Amino acid sequence: MTRRQALDSHPTHAWQVLHPPLQTSASGWLDVGDGHRMYWEAAGHPRAPAALFVHGGPGTGCSANDRRWFDPRRWRIVLFDQRGAGRSLPRAGLAANDTPHLVADMEALREHLGIERWLLFGGSWGATLALAYAEQHPRRVTGLVLRGVFTATRAERCWLYGARGAARHHPAAWQRLHAAAGAAPGQGLLEALHVRLHAGGTACRAAAQAWWRWEHDLMDAETTGPAPAPPAVDDDAALAHARIGVHYARRDWFLEPGQLLARASCLQGLPGVIVQGSRDLVTPPAAARALHAAWPGAQWQEVSAAGHASSHPAIARQLVAATDAFADTASPTTPQEAADARPASPH
């Protein structure tokens, strides 16, 4: 069965509709200042139009499967690990780690790789960061593919970390997170987690694992069948993810309240696709709808009965179709690329 036939059938998992696995063609660490060295990698056709995958979290890093959202014959695929995340160094480094620095790092990477413009692809926090970059550098963006939109408003923060939001839909998961934080009377959840995650010891590791599980518990609550087991993660990876995630959440993701929606006019004229699960409990559809209202030129694709996870086959189908459609209309980003571009087989 071809991949296109798989797209037209009824896949049961995202990996059935993604492009084939492929190896990187280049990788390295870019010194972005402040003691940070940012890991990056490239794959696909080196002279094709460029696409940047922006991972979520904050703090998770990229994986090999993230290359597979793009046709390697028609895209120059670029991935990077944000400051402190994944393979970037120092691991879990919080100094000079904020949204303006991450946007500047993306622009530094574009210049380092000699890319004129690129497509941005991101989900959840990855969508947040892609929006922040596109609103600051719209002339460097050919389009955006966004999934599970998170605009970092106070309402979204209260939904995720307040007792009257997502906690009401999954009280057992909320109690696990709250108990692991060990909040004192009058102390907020995020502040309590911040203290515990930097205290060391068994309680620190338990808080990190609880933070890791919280989003996965919410995604379990979105399903109608038996809940899958949360993915295993070692203590070091969980601690890095949690420290960065809490660092951002307790400071409103280093964005002004409502900033991304207020500046959505910067996106006018840019093509985009917004893919949103109707049952998303991590980033509920209200934020994505608000973004679409402010950026009506983007295509709106709400997937019924789907939640937050990109592994949902219907979500994955829409995301792959979006990058394929952009590839159909994309042109090489420099005159030299226009002269040199030829189809290439995946590694």
CB of 106 closer than 8 Å to CB of 290: no
Question: Which is nearest to 240 in space by CA: 58, 24, 17, 71?
Answer: 58
C-alpha 71/C-alpha 45 separation (Å) is 9
CB of 121 closer than 8 Å to CB of 76: no
CB of 20 closer than 8 Å to CB of 44: no
Output the six-digit token pair for 10.
Answer: 């009824």
98 catalytic per annotation:
no
Output the six-digit token pair for 68.
Answer: 């597979």
Output the six-digit token pair for 175.
Answer: 């109690």
The active-site residue, picked from 280, 310, 312, 324, is 280
280 catalytic per annotation:
yes
Beta bridge mates, 39: 29
**Secondary element (H or E) of residue 189:** helix 189-197
304 catalytic per annotation:
no
The active-site residue, picked from 45, 124, 241, 247, is 124
Question: Which is nearest to 126 in space by CA: 55, 39, 53?
Answer: 55
The active-site residue, picked from 19, 36, 247, 308, is 308
Residues labelled catalytic:
124, 280, 308
